[in-house]
Amino acid sequence: MSKKEITYIGLVSHMLKKARDDAASAGKKLEQTSVMRSAGERWKSVKSGVDPEFTQGNSKKTTTKKTTKSISDTEDVKQTSSSNLTSHPKTAQEVLDMVDLCEDCKSKIESVLNKTTKKSKKKKTKKSKKKKRSTKK
């Protein structure tokens, strides 16, 4: 009879299954800690090649599948009017468009916004001058 290749995880699951069956037939409770200890000791014998039933096998390498969305998938998604309502407004004008106000109130707010934008465009930023460091020798 040839030895079967097994990984550590396979050995642990094999020993747990065997211990569950033995505990069920004996009517006792399964003690996992003792099973795990004995699996560790048995794995040492499997790695060294002394175990009569198993030899050390190589685990399968898992690869992750990388997928990219095609252009056709992204074009199918269309924005609806409800998604536009739930999106965050970026400008003050977008906020005014979303809010239900009377025309008089809207015009007052727009006039205030226009004044503040004109003032902010007129302001010039000062360039900071770099100070020369004097080095003393």
pLDDT band with cut points at 50, 70 and 90 for residue 123: low
Q: Decide if 69 is inside a domain.
A: no
Q: Decide if 76 is inside a domain.
A: no
Q: Decide if 124 is inside a domain.
A: no
Single residue among 12, 32, 56 that ends a domain in this structure: 56
Q: Is 27 left (phi over 0), alpha (psi -120 to 50) or beta?
A: left
Q: Decide if 48 is inside a domain.
A: yes
Contact 51, 42 (CB under 8 A): yes
> Two tokens at 113?
């916004």
In this model, does residue 38 exceed pLDDT 70?
yes
What does the longest C-alpha to C-alpha distance in the chain come to? 95
Q: Decide if 44 is inside a domain.
A: yes
Single residue among 13, 36, 56 that ends a domain in this structure: 56
Q: Which domain holds residue 92?
A: 88-119
Number of domains, the chain: 2
Q: Decide if 64 is inside a domain.
A: no
Each residue of 60-76: pLDDT tens digit?
777 787 777 666 555 55
In this model, does residue 37 exceed pLDDT 90?
yes
Contact 54, 4 (CB under 8 A): yes
Q: State the angle between helix axes of 32-48 and 8-26 in degrees (0 to 180), rounded to the nearest 10.
A: 140
